[in-house]
Amino acid sequence: MLNGKTILIGITGGIAAYKICELIRKFKKNGAEVKVICTPNALNFVTKLTLQNLSQNEVYVQEFDVKEWKPEHISLADEADIMLIAPATANTISKIANGYADNLLTSVACAFTKKMIIAPAMNCNMWNNRAIQENLFKLKSRGIEILEPEKGFLACGYVGKGRLCDVNKIYDAVCEDLNYSQKLQGTKVVITSGGTIEDIDPVRYISNYSSGKMGLALANAAKSMGAEVVLITTKDFEAPYKIVKVKSAFDMQNALNEEFDTSDIVIMAAAVADYRVKNYSEQKMKKTDDENLTLELVKNPDILQDLCKKKTNQVVVGFCAESENLLENAAVKIVKKGCDFLVANDISRKDIGFGVEDNEVVILDKNGGAQRLEKASKAVIARKILEYIHE
């Protein structure tokens, strides 16, 4: 079942390193190509020869041990479909969370753009340490899956949470992710993100607080599920897929029209301004003696509604931001817009939605179904939204 898949395993210096030998054997038995990188400390617990024999590949330890033109940390990252770090020590976890690249394993982790799973193992007091928990939170919010350690007798003599989780659980998580990474293969997903910017004059504009992070998380998740991704955004993002930078609602609509016919799924996560100024001033508007200023606004096109009118086979997904009566307003909106799904966000809560890292949403479908996704990082919510739509 793992034929054609390359699994990159990073082993760090913990006693549980010996358990990874069994895991490598299982991956190999099921057809995977396995590449192993060890930190120098990992070799205190398991030998290079054992790992070499089991993986039937060279075992990588040192940086600058150059054999080919392409640096190893880049080619190892490029070749693999998934990266697993197990056991992951507190030290390696903290380095990866903070972008350090001081050995081959952390350099590869830094260059790795696909799915990463980390299975920590350490002393229970280290696990409970605030710094380690904060670093784990950082990794989770970037979409890295953490397989939490289990409680039990620890090699250091303590009893508590810190043992590497069951290797069968690690095996299942890797298989599930490899399967997930193919779910949207052959599908073109177009996503919009950020608040549109409606110019008033050369120095002023109307916009909103949307950070574009939810749309970015959706685009990243779609990419990791194997889709061809186009992100149409008002923000300056860099990503390994096509990004079209736009400004106003009109720009966004034009960019969407370019992509729409060839797309399979369109997700409107952008916060589109409902109105723009009627008369854009070519020159900077001057302050006058009047105490009041009235700007006349005219309606922007409803991009989502227009797309839904002309859609053929595309699945069209809208977002809705509500500050009160979330479900009632969303139920009216999905009918009015005519979209297949509507992801409803409660923007009255400060801990989710606009500008922050987490979200909690309800997905409505056009047949009246509703699914709540409990509060999680935007990366996790994005992944669940795409899985729900896919199913």
State the catalytic residue, choosing from 156, 175, 308, 320. 156
* Class of residue 291 by CB neighbours under 10 A (exposed 0-12, middle 13-18, buried 19+): exposed
Give the three-state DSSP class for 105: helix
Q: What CA dihedral angle connects 321, 322, 327 and 332, to 10 degrees? A: -80
Give the residue among 326, 325, 342 at the shortest CA–CA distance from 334: 342
CA 50 to chain centre: 35
Smallest gap from residue 138 Cβ to ligand CTP (A): 29
Beta carbon nearer to ligand CTP, 272 or 376: 272
Helix (H, G, I), strand (E, B) or coil at 11: strand
**Smaller CB distance to ligand CTP: residue 154 or 321?**
321
**Comparison of 10 and 318: residue with beta carbon closer to ligand CTP:** 318
In the chain, % helix, strand, coil (3-state, to 5) comes to 35, 25, 40
Looking at residue 239, its amino acid is A
Spell out a b/e string for 133-154, using b for 16 or more CB atoms within 10 Å of the CB, else e: eebbebbbbebbbbbebeeeeb
Give, for 56, the enclosing helix (H) or strand (E).
Answer: none
CA 14-86-45 angle, to 5 degrees, is 30
What would the two tokens of residue 250 be?
A: 């009109």
List contacts with ligand CTP (CB under 6 A).
249, 268, 270, 272, 274, 300, 302-304, 318-321
For ligand CTP, the closer of residues 62 and 323 by Cβ is 323
As measured in angstroms, the least distance from the Cβ of 391 to ligand CTP is: 21
Pick the closest to residue 181 from 216, 222, 232, 237 (CA basis). Answer: 222
Question: d(Cα 238, Cα 257) in Å, to the nearest integer?
Answer: 22
Minimal distance, residue 253 CB to ligand CTP, in Å: 8
Q: Is 156 a catalytic residue?
A: yes
Least distance from ligand CTP to the Cβ atom of residue 382, Å: 15
Min dist CB 215 to ligand CTP, Å, is 9
Name the residue nearer to ligand CTP (CB basis): 193 or 377: 193
- Taking the complex as a whole, the smallest distance from the CB of residue 319 to ligand CTP amounts, in Å, to 4
**φ, ψ of residue 375 in degrees (nearest 5):** -55, 130
Would you say 318 or 353 has its CB closer to ligand CTP?
A: 318
Element (H, E) at 128: helix 124-128
Give least dist CB 300 to ligand CTP, A.
Answer: 5
User: Among residues 177 and 346, whose Cβ is nearest to ligand CTP?
Assistant: 346
Residues labelled catalytic = 156
